[in-house]
Amino acid sequence: MEVLFKVIIIGDPTVGKTSFVQRYVNDSYRRDYKMTIGVDFALKVIKWSDKCNIKLQLWDIAGQERFTSMTRVYYKDAHACLVMFDLTQKNTFQNSIKWKKDLDQKCNLTDGSPVPCLLLANKCDEVDQREVTQGEIEDMCKEHDFIGWSETSVKEGVMIEESMGFLIEEMMAKHAELEGFSDSFHSPGSGPIKLGKDEDSGGTGSKCSC
């Protein structure tokens, strides 16, 4: 069996959306990606279990204002969303609210429920330039109904696989619910996690979430 999921990646320009996709799909990183014009696509196939493969369509959507009139078309039939911002630019964090509201206004799942949306705080490796606190991220996550959040570093490859793994779990659970399947769609040995930063350990983990 093969399941197809469309995941959209949205947020302001230069926050790392294209780099995130390339890191996740190809495990590569460059500093000189060209700015996305309209939308770029990537595909990744995941062996979920002996009986199920997941085909992920990743839609990297341009963050420039002039392309926002097209977002309704780009959002269509999305199963999940990543909203990304840059921890070193607070305005990109504040604009995450705009991106989430735009998504909620223009797109729903087939049962009418909101598209599951994960908030990613990129460039956590640039500690000295940080402009957004964990508390602010947590508050935004709760207030605007994100399913969770995580700090990431696309440059260092931090919390990329874990973030996508969490999102895939959410999509598979929703797929099973909509199709009337059993819990067999969960990957072996996995359970629900919530992404965020573990305040006690000082590392990025699965304790703090919304």
DSSP codes joined into one string, the chain: -EEEEEEEEE-STTSSHHHHHHHHHH----S-PPPP-SEEEEEEEEEEETTEEEEEEEEEE--SGGGGGGHHHHHTT-SEEEEEEETT-HHHHHHHHHHHHHHHHH-B-TTSPBPPEEEEEE-TT-GGG----HHHHHHHHHHTT-SEEEE-BTTTTBSHHHHHHHHHHHHHHHHHHHHT--GGGSPTT------EEETTTTEEESSS--
The domain made up of 2-205 is a member of CATH 3.40.50.300:
yes
- Return the domain boundaries, the chain: 2-205
Predicted confidence pLDDT, tens digits, the chain (210 residues): 899 999 999 999 999 999 999 999 998 887 665 655 567 889 999 998 888 999 999 999 986 654 566 678 899 999 999 999 999 999 999 999 999 999 999 999 999 999 999 999 999 999 999 999 999 999 999 999 999 999 999 999 999 999 999 999 999 999 988 877 654 444 333 333 345 434 433 333 333 343
